[in-house]
Chains A and B, each alone.
Chain A
Amino acid sequence: MSAPPKEHLVMEHLVTLTYREKLTENLNRFADNLLEARIVGHKCPSCGRVYVPPKGYCPLCVVATGNNDEVELPDRGTLTGFTIITPVAYYGQQQTEPFVWASVLLDGADTPLTGQNITGVPHSELRMGLRVKARWKPREQRSVEGMTNRGWGGFGDVVESFEATGEPDAGEEVYKEHIF
């Protein structure tokens, strides 16, 4: 039999799967606090490391953490790593312009907040050790809708950015263990 026309050799299939779930208790409380401009992590009862956002466990000691382990953190910290992302187009991608993807280690935390925007310095002056402080959105514009239990998007949409404070840079000892 004759070969079918080439366009018939491709099948387009839109696959859509929707997942609905309640935020875990640790993240839900974290979200409640973020809306009030408070950043509350979990301190491991075994090793004392502070996780923000709280995971509900310490992956190093492999022990659960809970409400009793909550600790409030300042909204100020140090830039520990960054990339300028030139967005590539793909289905569902809304970013079109290069954006900063930075990690901020809050003072007193042991895990950085990833995926943060940094303002107050030009891209060319971004550097590890830069001191930054949260610029909170107005209360009514803060949203935690993007938060999920799946390990990404854990900080919601509550700050405009982390802005350079003008303080002297933190030393290497502050960020060298957090190059993420």
Chain B
Amino acid sequence: MSEPRVTVTKLEFPYSRTLGPVLGAFIGGLREGKLLGIRARDGRVLAPPVEYDPETGESLGSEMVALGPEGTVVAWTWVGQPTAKHPLGRPFSFALVKPDGADTAMVGPVDAGSPDSMSTGMRVRARFNPEPKGLVTDLTWEPAR
């Protein structure tokens, strides 16, 4: 019997997601070089801005708060061999970054060149895509000078 044939199935679709006011404000903000969070009822500022309190489900309204442009690395890992699905084509860090002014951290890529440049507590700065695509990938972090 011959070696079994390899079959390839591709599931591909260009999804079109409606964002609503809160997510829309964040993604729209990136287009304008702004980083936004949202204020919860208890005063905490959540980044990325979510529509409902993660603990209680309470609706948070839409009081957006300007954050950054710098932030602090809370935790990180190093991606030595990025794949085509990753936001950067060269080695980078996926990190939890707490933007200045926020009480929570968000996951994003840090374009740091080498894992030796990375450390918990390091300061990073937001870099915005000059040709925004309207995706969260319009935001990249880089080590602050």
Which residues of A line the B interface, CB within 8 A?
1, 3-5, 8-25, 28-29, 31-32, 91-92, 144-145, 147-150
Known: A20-B6, A22-B7. 10 other contacts (CB 8 A): A1-B25, A11-B23, A12-B15, A13-B17, A17-B11, A29-B1, A92-B13, A147-B5, A147-B7, A148-B7
The verdict on B21 contacting chain A, using a C-beta distance below 8 Å, is yes
Q: Given A8-B31, A20-B6, A29-B1 in contact, is the A13-B12 Cβ separation under 8 Å?
A: no
Contact yes or no, B11 A10, CB < 8 A? no
The 8 closest A-B pairs by CB, nearest first: A8-B28, A4-B28, A22-B4, A9-B24, A16-B12, A19-B9, A28-B4, A11-B17
Q: Given A4-B25, A23-B7 in contact, is the A13-B18 Cβ separation under 8 Å?
A: no
A116 vs chain B, min Cβ distance (A)? 20
Contact yes or no, B25 A32, CB < 8 A? no
> Which residues of the partner chain A approach B7 to less than 8 Å between Cβ atoms?
20-23, 145, 147-149
> Which residues of the partner chain A approach B4 to less than 8 Å between Cβ atoms?
22-25, 28
> Which residues of the partner chain A approach B13 to less than 8 Å between Cβ atoms?
14-15, 91-92
> Which residues of the partner chain B approach A22 to less than 8 Å between Cβ atoms?
4-7
CA distance A125 to B33 in the complex (A): 65
Could you mark each residue 15-50 of chain B with 1 if its beta carbon is under 8 Å from any beta carbon of chain A, else 0?
Answer: 111111101110110010000000000000000000
Contact yes or no, A28 B2, CB < 8 A? yes
CA distance A150 to B9 in the complex (A): 10
Say whether chain A's binding surface is mostly helix, strand, loop, or mixed. mixed
Which residues of B line the A interface, CB within 8 A?
1-2, 4-21, 23-25, 27-28, 31, 62, 64, 134-135
* B24 contact from A4, A21, A147, Cβ within 8 A: A4
Contact yes or no, B27 A11, CB < 8 A? yes
A101 vs chain B, min Cβ distance (A)? 20
> Which residues of the partner chain A approach B17 to less than 8 Å between Cβ atoms?
10-13
Contact yes or no, A10 B16, CB < 8 A? yes
Contact yes or no, A12 B134, CB < 8 A? yes
> Which residues of the partner chain B approach A148 to less than 8 Å between Cβ atoms?
7, 9
CA distance A24 to B50 in the complex (A): 45
Contact yes or no, A13 B15, CB < 8 A? yes
Contact yes or no, A144 B5, CB < 8 A? yes
Most buried by A among B4, B6, B11, B17: B4
> Which residues of the partner chain B approach A4 to less than 8 Å between Cβ atoms?
21, 24-25, 28
CA distance A24 to B18 in the complex (A): 40
A17 nearest in chain B by CB position:
B11
CA distance A150 to B15 in the complex (A): 24
> Which residues of the partner chain A approach B64 to less than 8 Å between Cβ atoms?
1
Contact yes or no, A3 B12, CB < 8 A? no
CA distance A12 to B13 in the complex (A): 10
CB-defined A-B contacts under 8 Å, sample of 15: A4-B28, A8-B134, A9-B24, A10-B19, A10-B134, A11-B19, A12-B16, A12-B17, A13-B135, A14-B12, A23-B7, A25-B4, A91-B12, A148-B7, A148-B9
